[in-house]
Amino acid sequence: MAGGIVIDRPGRQRSRRLTGLRGDNAAMAAELTDVLRQTRLLSSVPGADLAQLAGASRVRVFRRGQVVCTMGDPGDTLIVVISGRVKVAIRSADGGELTLAVIGPGGTIGEVSVADGGPRSADAETLEDSQLLLVPREPVRDTCARVPAAGQALTTIVAATLRRLTDATADLVFLDLPRRVAKVLLSQPRDGDGVISPPLTQEQLARQAAGSRQSVNAALQGFERRGWITINGRAVTVRQPQLLARFAGNLGAGRLSGVGAVEQRLTAQQLGIAARLGCQPLHDRAASMTSAGTRLPA
């Protein structure tokens, strides 16, 4: 591939050309092609087209806590998470934060920008050391136009985003904080014993449920008293998913527990739609919503 593949490290003035993540340039190109093949958007694209996209892309290495992009930045790349995790969030002027998504390996950020060319509508920040693949928007869009299955995948992803936004908006408007906390717990990936992994801090949970840490802690203690969950340090184990799901809104526990984290959580693009709908930052009104909402059953 002309020019090879570039790996950038933010914070340094000059990028370094490396021979590969694990080997020579050809091996790296094959690895990045496979990374693209694992995404929902590009899984059906022929190998030759994926190789071209890989050749036009950049790998960027981020340390934990580094900013990937901010609201208003040009949406000129599709971001693919190779390793690590990226938090997508919206922040208010007074420093409040609502986490919309946590994207892990194989997940993507920016499908809606691929479709409409709009700017970034959320902040993205790494939760741990991460490698991200930045794929230029125009080649991705051209590929979706030429490959019908990829075009259909883009349409499906955008439609799914709208559906998830509808569900999330309804939750934020109609559910009190304990029920929102229950839904967030059920949306997390769990092992065979029901342990949420990777673990969430109460602050992270509060930012996903749009509440204060103190209110989230009270909800968790209520769930634990009823035997629905157990808490050991940061480790939370879901013991009674059916009861927790019933409390959250009569949802089947299988629907929530069997879906991957990327599919179940809000994606970054939903933020732009929410902003256009004029959604108010909810962390400021979480306490009032909780006090007016339904209490946990005695």
Could you give the strand order of the β-sheet that contains 58-62, starting from the edge strand earlier in sequence?
16-17, 6-8, 58-62, 130-136, 77-83, 108-109
Mean pLDDT, to the nearest integer, of 13-25?
44
Which of residues 21 and 229 earns the better pLDDT score?
Answer: 229
CA atoms within 13 Å, Cβ hemisphere of 177: 27
Least confident among 52-61, 130-139, 146-155, 273-282: 273-282
Q: Which amino acid appears at position 123 of this protein?
A: D
Q: Strand, coil or helix: what is 107? A: coil
CA 79, distance to chain mean position in Å, is: 11
Q: Strand, coil or helix: what is 111? A: helix
Q: What does the longest C-alpha to C-alpha distance in the chain come to? A: 67
The count of residues in the chain is 298
Mean pLDDT, to the nearest integer, of 160-172?
83
Which of residues 29 and 36 earns the better pLDDT score?
Answer: 36
249-295 pLDDT per residue, tens: 854 444 443 333 333 333 344 444 334 433 333 333 333 333 334 44
Residue with tokens 């899984």: 43
Q: What is the pLDDT of residue 250?
A: 53
185-215 pLDDT per residue, tens: 999 999 999 999 999 888 999 998 989 999 9
Q: Is the confidence at residue 69, as pLDDT, over 90?
A: yes
Q: How far apart are the C-alpha atoms of 203 and 206, rounded to whole Å?
A: 5
Q: Is the confidence at residue 11, as pLDDT, over 70?
A: no
Structure tokens at 48: 């030759």
Name the pTM for this structure: 0.72
Q: Is the confidence at residue 128, as pLDDT, over 90?
A: yes
Q: Quick one: pLDDT band at residue 296, thresholds 50, 70, 90? A: low
